[in-house]
Amino acid sequence: MLLIGLTGSIATGKSTVSSILSSPPHSLPIVDADVLAREVVEPGTKGYAAIVKHFGPTTPDLLVEPSGSMPENGPTGKGRPLNRPALGRRVFGDSDERRKDRAVLNGIVHPAVRWAMARKVLWCYLTGCWAVVLDVPLLFESKLDRFCGTTLVVGVRDPEIQMRRLRERDAHLTSEDAENRVRSQTDVRTKAKWSEARGGHVVWNDGTKEELTVQLDEVMRGLKAQSNGLWSWVLLACPPLAVTLAAWHFWRNQRSQADRSS
């Protein structure tokens, strides 16, 4: 089974690509790290408790305000949901304080998301999927690309397009908030270079959705042509062989990452 690591930067069109790949004619299963990241910090989870414990004392508006539709203990009685804009203001930015806060948040969320992703990928393998898409915003930064057979970066060449799309999508963001969110992530053009250096793929989303779809279809045709259906069934029937092949891919990707860091 091919693991396709899908990534990009904020407002570059990664969600659009994910939607296209999950629909016919591709119909690929999507393991979305953003969705999982929300699930692992819902009230009642260990992630939620850790975030409230660390950020609560210094972030008065960390939780959604109680109201007529929001009880004091939340709709489930396990606590009010996180106020994501408020948490975002604590962790997005390039100051030392924001970096430290972001590192704490990532240290809480990322391990839980990895376990959830592993369970979903295993299910896709057992059900005979030829490929599964790992939709991960911080694919390279979290080193999850080491586990992928290939990578696909969705980028824009013009930074102004990225900023405009972000402001249009999240109208509540100020200009400063938008800039902080973009700066808090690795430049998408750098991610594109990383992907190409390890033999991965890049689709550029400066134009229309139709133009993006044409690029994406070409990439998927190439990946599908490289996929041997019989070989996939052999790996499914022989887990030790599948593990050996996965270990080889991991080693190869480790080498690529080492070259990138040097």
- One digit per residue, the tens of pLDDT, for the chain of length 262 reads 899 999 999 999 999 999 999 999 999 999 999 999 999 999 999 999 999 999 999 999 999 999 999 999 999 999 999 999 999 999 988 889 999 999 999 999 999 999 999 999 999 988 888 899 999 998 998 889 988 999 999 999 999 999 999 999 998 888 888 888 888 889 999 999 999 998 999 999 999 999 999 999 999 999 988 875 544 555 555 656 555 555 555 555 555 555 655 5
Q: How far apart are CA 106 and CA 94, in angstroms?
A: 15
Which CATH homologous superfamily contains domain 1-29+131-262? P-loop containing nucleotide triphosphate hydrolases (3.40.50.300)
pLDDT, residue 71, reads 94
pLDDT, residue 174, reads 86
Q: How far apart are CA 42 and CA 21, in angstroms?
A: 27
Q: How far apart are CA 210 and CA 216, in angstroms?
A: 10
Same topology between domain 1-29+131-262 and domain 35-128: yes
> Tokens at residue 101, please?
């806060």
CATH architecture of 35-128: 3-Layer(aba) Sandwich (3.40)
Residue-range domain boundaries for the chain: 1-29+131-262, 35-128
Per-residue CA distances from 97 to 39, 44, 81, 88, 102 (Å): 26, 28, 24, 13, 9
Question: Following DSSP, what letter does each residue of the chain receive, concatenated?
Answer: -EEEEEEE-TTSSHHHHHHHHHSTTT---EEEHHHHHHHTTSTTSHHHHHHHHHHGGG-TTSBPPP-SSS-TT-TTSS-PPB-HHHHHHHH-SSSHHHHHHHHHHHHHHHHHHHHHHHHHHHHHHHTT-SEEEEE-TTTTTTTGGGG-SEEEEEE-S-HHHHHHHHHHH-TT--HHHHHHHHHTS--HHHHHHHHHHTT-EEEE-SS-HHHHHHHHHHHHHHHHHH--HHHHHHHHH-HHHHHHHHHHHHHHHHHHHHHHH-
Identify whether the C-beta of residue 113 lies closer than 8 Å to the C-beta of residue 36: yes
> Tokens at residue 29, please?
């299963």
What HEC string does 152-197 produce? EEEECCCHHHHHHHHHHHCCCCCHHHHHHHHHCCCCHHHHHHHHHH
pLDDT, residue 230, reads 47
pLDDT, residue 240, reads 62
pLDDT, residue 173, reads 86
pLDDT, residue 225, reads 87
